Amino acid sequence: MAARRRPNGEGHKRSDGLYRVRLTLTRPDGTRTVKNFTAKTKKGALAKREAYLIAQGRNAPALTASVRELSGIWLSSVQTTLKPKTLRSYRGAVKEIDAMFGDTMVGDIRLPELHEWLTRRAKESARSAGILKSVFSLIFQFGVLRGAVASNPLAGVKFMFSKYSKSTIVRINDEEELQRILLNVRDPEIRLFFQFLAESGLRPWKEAVHLTSDDLGYENGTFFVHVRESKTEAGAGRFVPISEDLGNRLREKDGLLFQSKEGLKLRESRVSQRWREACVRAGLVPNPQTYSLRRWAITQWAEREIPVDVAKSWAGHKDSKLVLDVYGFVSRKRQISKHVEQKSKGTVKGQ
């Protein structure tokens, strides 16, 4: 397993007990050189690195700087050491931070306003709030090294972002809620993808994104998709019916049934973000996963009284446990509705 690349200024403890901080320098000809600084403490290693930079005239302390200025310098200094996916994530975070605090002097940032902003973002997306907090902390740490700020206010501070994602999962209660979410998906290709998941119950990333026009079929007046790839043996090779309206729309596709504007497979991170945004615009607590659409599809099969064995086959399950759980939930909901209806009419036994 390859070692994780560490950004400039990020130290780690070696097996001999010393701390090492790496510095990557880019020469005018575009080539790079790496220098390592070691000390008994991380603070000592960082001090050695800073002293070297000042001696080279590369890191003269800036007593004042705005968030936008410091974040730009920080991102330029670390971008050559980051993996492409991490760099995209950091750039997005910096863009959002600059939009909120860009003109504010770094030394004027206070923890209460940061806490309020990050908490508000966590209610929209806990994952995004976590990335923003990490990037802002790295910018502050960089500011400390440059003398732009006395300390990092986020150092050692913990935010319980998880409570906004794990305990508040969107439950699609009815067709009206589903349509509200779909109407708030602004990308038509991703909206079609969500509609397909809500009908077919396919696993989004292990099955649906791999479907091509060759997997779409029509027989005896019914459209269906042939699932060739799946995470389970029971899921591979199955046929799942879809509605005529959806089948006619997918029949116009060539190649991948669902693809990005670049003609590539849909990316999980991008699609999940669109799902969360749509839930927020629809007035619902965002769900960090699109997997609730799979459960919705199974629920609809139960409502239509599709036999359990058939539903299990369509869902690609080896056993019927999940399907039976959903069917049992629908059955209990029907019993409650029937009881409420009888009670309202005064026909419940014992009354």
DSSP 287-300: PS-STHHHHHHHHH
Same domain, 277 and 186: yes
Same domain, 308 and 281: yes
Q: What is the CATH number of the domain that holds 103?
A: 1.10.150.130
Q: Which of 121, 138, 168 is the last residue of a domain?
A: 168
Q: How far apart are CA 185 and CA 180, in angstroms?
A: 9
Task: Dump pLDDT digits (tens) for 185-211.
Answer: 999 999 999 999 999 999 998 899 999
Q: How far apart are CA 265 and CA 189, in angstroms?
A: 11
Q: How far apart are CA 250 and CA 216, in angstroms?
A: 8
Backbone angles phi, psi at 307, to 5 degrees: -55, 145
Enclosing domain of residue 130: 65-168
Same domain, 10 and 72: no
Taking residues 231-256, report their average pLDDT.
90
Contacts of 128 (CB under 8 A, 6+ apart): 93, 121
Same domain, 71 and 203: no
Q: Which of 11, 39, 60 is the last residue of a domain?
A: 60
Q: Is residue 349 part of a domain?
A: no
Q: Is residue 255 part of a domain?
A: yes
**pLDDT higher than threshold 90 for residue 108:** no
Three-state DSSP at 350 gives coil
Same domain, 193 and 213: yes
pLDDT at 210: 92
DSSP 270-293: HHHHHHHHHHHHTTSPPPS-STHH
CB 284 within 8 A of CB 296: no
Domain count for the chain, please give it.
3
Judged by average pLDDT, the poorest of 116-125, 163-172, 217-226 is 163-172
Same domain, 294 and 240: yes
Judged by average pLDDT, the poorest of 150-164, 174-188, 196-210, 333-347 is 333-347
Q: Confidence band (pLDDT; 50, 70, 90) for 346?
A: low
Task: Dump pLDDT digits (tens) for 35-68.
Answer: 788 888 877 777 777 666 655 544 444 446 788 8
Same domain, 106 and 56: no
What Å distances lie between residue 321 and 95, 171, 173, 308, 326, CA to CA? Answer: 45, 20, 21, 10, 9
Q: Which two tokens stand for residue 167?
A: 């305990």
Same domain, 308 and 187: yes
Task: Dump pLDDT digits (tens) for 59-97.
Answer: 444 446 788 888 888 888 888 777 888 888 898 899 989
**pTM, whole model, 2 decimals?**
0.52
Q: Is residue 229 part of a domain?
A: yes
Q: Is residue 345 part of a domain?
A: no
Task: Dump pLDDT digits (tens) for 116-128.
Answer: 888 888 777 777 8
pLDDT at 250: 93
Same domain, 184 and 330: yes
- Is the model more confident about 166 or about 150? 150
The tokens 């042939």 sit on which residue?
A: 226
Q: Confidence band (pLDDT; 50, 70, 90) for 4?
A: very low
Q: Which strands make up the sheet holding 32-39, listed edge to edge?
A: 11-13, 19-26, 32-39
Q: Is residue 343 part of a domain?
A: no
Taking residues 5-31, report their average pLDDT.
64
**pLDDT higher than threshold 70 for residue 11:** no
Same domain, 224 and 164: no
Q: Is residue 120 part of a domain?
A: yes
The pairs formed by 111-114 with CB atoms below 8 angstroms and a separation of 24 or more are 111/153, 111/154, 111/157, 114/153, 114/154
Q: Is residue 346 part of a domain?
A: no
pLDDT at 7: 45
Q: Which of 41, 60, 79 is the last residue of a domain?
A: 60
- Is the model more confident about 347 or about 280? 280
Above pLDDT 90, what percent of the chain?
Answer: 17
Q: Confidence band (pLDDT; 50, 70, 90) for 162?
A: low
Same domain, 81 and 210: no
Same domain, 20 and 159: no
Strand 19-26 and strand 11-13: the pairing is antiparallel
Q: What is the mean pLDDT of the chain?
A: 78
Q: Is residue 350 part of a domain?
A: no
pLDDT at 2: 44
**pLDDT higher than threshold 60 for residue 350:** no
What Å distances lie between residue 79 and 25, 75, 84, 94, 131, CA to CA? Answer: 12, 6, 9, 12, 16
